[in-house]
A and B are shown apart, each in its own frame.
Chain A
Amino acid sequence: MSADPRLKYAPAVPTQDPASSAAEVRRIGQHPQVAAVFIPLVNVLMGHRYYWPIYEACEQLRLPIYLHVTGIESIFSGTPTLAMGTADSYIERYAAVPQVGMASVASLILSGTLEKFPNLKFIFAEYGFLWVPSLFYRLDRTWRGLRHEVPWVRKPPSEYLHERFLFTTQPCDEPADPKELETLISMLGHDVLCFSTDYPHWDNDMPANTLQMLQPSARRAVFFDNAARVLRL
């Protein structure tokens, strides 16, 4: 990192011992090149108070939480499980892994954790993003009728979406017609999408080909503004 101060990173902090994780965040989080903290999840929903010591440390240091698919979901004991069991193949697990993102986002909102940590933001990398509008339509509709279960959720869930979350562009699950993708992204909102590559993995998105159909203002949001707003730069 010392080679160029423009380089920023998100150090990985294991989460099996949250008190130690928080201590580690405080030890390394002052470094000016740290822009976020990556937490590989254990099989505990993200809104659970288990993670609160880590969130508290990150919020104090103005560092967003960065999530990335680890590749070991539902493979080792203690890792986030996918619904209904262990997939038979890599492709089956790959297709199902957005479940972890969906469960995490719903848990963070409905648990009240976002109210407890009002300045903490979350970046979900490689979980996909086209499922997000569907999830929030469901969250908003059910919150209108079932808010009595979670009175600590003080506003419609979709308002938290735009204030507290980013989702990254890779892997882009593209329909054949780019106009359909543009429509889907506008349903999500240009303010919650952030460019990513997953380089050098086999399924990376080539930067020059990513979301070419976006208009200049949306492009600037996805490729620059949103990350600049959320990361500690």
Chain B
Amino acid sequence: MARERQRIRIGKSQDFATGRIEIVALEGREIGVTRLLTGELRAIANRCPHKGAPICRGIIGGVWDSSGPGEMTFNNNREVLICPWHGFAFDLASGRELFWKRPASLRMYPIEDSGGEVFVMI
């Protein structure tokens, strides 16, 4: 029988900003919380699906694009989390790995902002 999720308050809305991840410890798990440019929140297990790295300590940024050999442009429209160990890139909105034919996914937890208080369901 599936365990019922707990709804745990983790802070106030203003505690979570775009471009950085706050790591909170909940019931023995580390969860990274960040805000997308749209204002939505994301709660991510601090474990890379590749080799178990603490992925929430990685950098949030964009991706490099190219029009041809030797040409590089930085596309900062996407919110991408880069794993600090092997550099695999994950789309923060969907949790899915970018640039791979069989993309892995970050583990995401439901998160909600209720009247300025933020709750994660684990």
State the A residues within 8 Å of B (CB).
49, 111-113, 115-116, 143-148, 151-152, 155-156, 159
Contact = CB atoms under 8 A, between A and B. Distances in A.
A111 B72 CA distance: 13
Contacts of A116: 68-69
Interface of B: 63-66, 68-72, 83, 86-89, 97, 99-101
A112 B70 CA distance: 8
A115 B65 CA distance: 14
Contacts, number: 45
A156 B100 contact: yes
A146 B65 CA distance: 13
Contact of B88 (A145, A151, A156, A159): A145
Contact of A144 (B63, B66, B70, B100): B100
4 nearest A-B residue pairs (beta carbon): A112-B69, A145-B87, A151-B66, A151-B64
14 contacts: A112-B66, A112-B70, A113-B69, A144-B86, A144-B88, A144-B89, A145-B86, A145-B88, A151-B66, A152-B66, A152-B70, A156-B99, A156-B100, A156-B101
B69 A144 contact: no
B50 to A, nearest CB: 8
A147 B63 CA distance: 9
A174 to B, nearest CB: 31
Contact of B68 (A112, A144, A148, A159): A112
Nearest to A49: B69
Contact of A146 (B68, B71, B87): B87
Given A146-B87, A147-B99, A115 B72 contact: no
